Structure 1
Amino acid sequence: RVFPDAPLGWVFPGDPGIPNTLAKPQYDRFAPRLGIAYSPEFSGGILGTIFGGPGKTSIRAAYGLYYTAVEDLTLFGEIGDAPFGLFYVSPTAVYLEEPYKDRISGNDPGQRFPYTFPGVGATGFWGKFLPIAVSPAYKVDNVMPYTEHYNFNIQRQIGSTTVLTLAYVGSQGHHLLANLPFNPGSPARCFEINAILAQSNPAATPCGPGFEDQIYDLGNGQFAYGTRPYSVTSGRYLSQGLLDFGDNAWTSTLANSSYNSLQVSLEKRVGALRFLGAYTWGKSLDNGSGYRDYLNPYDQRVDRALSTFNVAHNF
């Protein structure tokens, strides 16, 4: 392994079974575009009146599939992951004058800065990073995000200088980037801990929101090491009151979106001048409006709602 005593599950390119790239290139992505246009030739009757006669109306429809690259900004999160970058967020309350000392247990892991980056194969330094938290991880099975775009519009010439356009425009976004927490606290485990504490240690700090990374003394030599599924994977620094992992998330291509709109415009030419008026009635839905959005770790469908950038009426 690149770092032999890294917490179990914290791996690096070069470790057994780990690919040497964040995501494999995908060369089999086909992105077709299709468009059709039709101009009615009705010259009489009610259809001639509606369409204005030959050459006065055009009807168009189009569909396209567009792939996009993963935003480069997201990759800067991973380059600061332990042990290639160091920041510290205390999992418990600390003292102002002793910013690393746990007020409850008295554990003090010591000063963490300045920091010297370890070389490949180095060991014994992980206490400075634990618990590893708020460290994004890129899912190696991510796929390339893409959007399906489609539209249908009718353009009608009115007189010799005015054009009216009515259009439906829609899109569907697939495999969009968002953050997926993979180490959430367990409410069931928290209730279990509180039930034990109520009997063995009623004065202890109860388990609840914000205390997922606490070590609980359950009495009779028994301890509960946090409430997350991966709070402890190796446990090499438990004697110092340090869990292995806190709250972390994957940068994952699990989000999706949809957009539907009615668009109307009226354009008039007066000499060398052009006047344009336009209106859009639209609705955008998604379960992740950007890669910084966090999805529900248990069911991403419940996150689906209006996009943060949704504009219903735009003139």
Structure 2
Amino acid sequence: MKTNMGETNLTVVMEFILLGFSDIPRLEGFLFVLFLIIYMSILIGNGLIILITKIDPTLQTPMYFFIGNLSFLEICYTSVTIPRLLSNLWSQRRNISFLACAIQLTAFLIMGATECFLLAVMSYDRYVAICKPLHYPVIMSHNKCIKLVVGSWISGIPLQIGQTCQIFSLPLCGSNKLNHVFCDIPPLLKLACGDTSINEFSVYADVLILAMIPFLLILWSYSKIINTILKMPSATGRSKAFSTCSSHLIVVGLFFGSAIITYLRPKSIHSAEADKILSLFYTIVTPMFNPMIYSLRNKDVIAALKKLLPK
């Protein structure tokens, strides 16, 4: 529902229409089944990771504590967007209220920021484990790990709430149709009237603070890690150290790569279809692959799963 404000041609939007995949109606049934399978695999895969990191005695270390928290975050992250997407595909009702859209965007942004900080924390954990192994138990105590996880969750909240308020306070005109699969910043800015350059700058600033700073911390950690690994005399030690880091690096590359391309590429080369594909990549594909990346490349996790699954 929307009402026009006379001569100014502004629109008071009561709800948005999420167009999603309405341009390819013949594929919507297939897409519903595909996304349902992906969502179930995310819940099961990440759920198993959480379970084994809680109950297996061999996995009671800071690294697996962080992996378990990342899996919990991935379940929350995807649950913000996929259930609504599945509902839209199943019912063909694409409307979402103004408030629900704002809540979805806020939760999505907060969890995205949390993932950035948590991945940085995990790289710091690997840095301490490899570069300062003798001090590792003291530096990465259980209380310290809890504080780092809590800090990751709350660090982005003020900025992301402010970002959402700024986006939803923009005057809207004309259409209330969002050519996207969920409420995200780029499609919402396209509905705004007038000059949105200040808002775009704010988005870039947010990304630089909440994504680029953790990303640079990750690069710094791994520069130190790689330098230390190369100095190890034992080839076996080097191989084991690289193995424990490679899984995390793959996840970092998948998440940060797609997110940075989405939010930092110039407006002139933005397209609705590209935005949809990229957003699906870091909100669905990465959470789906995380359990596989951490389990298939980790002997301890595979052993824990073998102990658990027969039961």
TM-score, length basis structure 2: 0.24
Structure of higher RCO (CA pairs closer than 8 Å, 6+ residues apart): 2
Larger strand fraction of residues: 1
Larger Cα-atom Rg: 1
- The structure where helix makes up a greater share of residues is 2
